[in-house]
Amino acid sequence: MFVIFGASGKAGRVTAAALRRAGQPVRAVVRNARHGDKLAAIGCEIALADLTDAAAVAAALRGAHAVQLICPVPVNDKHPESTMRATIDVATDALRENPPARLLAISDYGAELPLNTGITRLFHHLEQRLRPVETHLTVLRSAEHMQNLDAFLPTALASGVLPSLHLPLEHRFPTVAAQDVGAASAELLLDAPQGGTSRLVSIEGPQRVSVNDIAATLGEVSGRTIAPLALPRESWSPTLLKAGLSEEHARLITDLYDVHNTGKIDVQANSERRFGATGLREVLASLVSKLATR
């Protein structure tokens, strides 16, 4: 049995679908029953579990041969760091108690750094907690998801300005489409040998992009003129708070970009490299199309 946590997410549902196409039994773990309908339709067994519920997580893991673990940063949470740490601790305790033969954890570029990297620091905690699990561990470190741009598109399309915490605007950085992360995860779960070894894999898109590239591409797919705007450091937190984030969530993001903009967050030198096939234009065109139908 392949157990996929976060199976209703952008990456997780692609992993689940790929494993089902390969003829594998899949238990899709979701927090809400309605999120499991499409997964059930492709033959997944559905397990309901909040990742902070130790009993529910342990039940979802029973009989697992292979597990994909996703611990997302919680949205609309006043204390996302403590919630995510609790999620990580519950999941890793359950995995140590009942280790599967194969375990794949989706992590983040820069998770190896023992620095105050905000959100990425939480993935550092995840990787540290997983090390004692007696399994074949694959850590799949993902570049920034292109789909995260969705949060900025309504403002950019309405105002013609794309604000950015990425500085400088011409600096090219790694991004990846979420569906390519899910597809790579399925391949790695199917390929992974059994035994107590580990594997580090990094994935990013076919080419690196700058904020200038993103603004130009968004303009092309939307038929509008979009100008990139470098947000001054002092406006980062007020802008994020105005967008509805909690103070703690805003701090996690500003801490991340303080380090990211120094160039320290990138591929670890000794990791395997993978490159997704989905480019920025395809993702932005899809996001703009979805916005038009809302």
Which CATH number characterizes residue 113's domain?
3.40.50.720
Domain that includes residue 39, residue range: 2-145+176-205+265-277
52 found inside a domain: yes
Neighbours of 49 (CB within 10 A): 20
Contact predicate 105/139, CB 8 Å: yes
The CA-atom distances, in angstroms, between 291 and each of 124, 155, 233, 294 are 34, 12, 29, 5
Q: Per the structure, how many domains does the chain have?
A: 1
219 found inside a domain: no
155 found inside a domain: no
Element spanning 142, H or E:
strand 136-142
Q: Can you give the pLDDT at residue 194?
A: 57
140 found inside a domain: yes
Q: The pTM is what?
A: 0.95
In the block, tokens 């937190």 appear at 237
Q: Can you give the pLDDT at residue 149?
A: 94
Q: Can you give the pLDDT at residue 196?
A: 61
Q: Can you give the pLDDT at residue 195?
A: 59
Three-state SS string over 54-95 comes to HHHHHHHHCCCCEEEECCCCCCCCCCHHHHHHHHHHHHHHHH
Q: Can you give the pLDDT at residue 123?
A: 98
16 found inside a domain: yes
63 found inside a domain: yes
90 found inside a domain: yes
With H, G, I as helix, E, B as strand and everything else as coil, classify residue 203. strand
105 found inside a domain: yes
Q: Can you give the pLDDT at residue 281?
A: 98
Contact predicate 141/109, CB 8 Å: yes
Interatomic CA distance for residues 280 and 213, integer angstroms: 9
Q: From first to last of the 294 residues of the chain, give the pLDDT tens digit.
A: 999 999 999 999 999 999 999 999 999 999 989 999 999 999 999 999 999 999 999 999 999 999 999 998 888 899 999 999 999 999 999 999 999 999 999 999 999 999 999 999 999 999 999 999 999 999 999 999 999 999 889 999 999 999 999 999 999 999 999 999 999 999 999 986 655 678 999 999 999 999 999 999 999 999 999 999 999 999 999 999 988 899 999 999 999 999 999 999 999 999 999 999 999 999 999 999 999 887
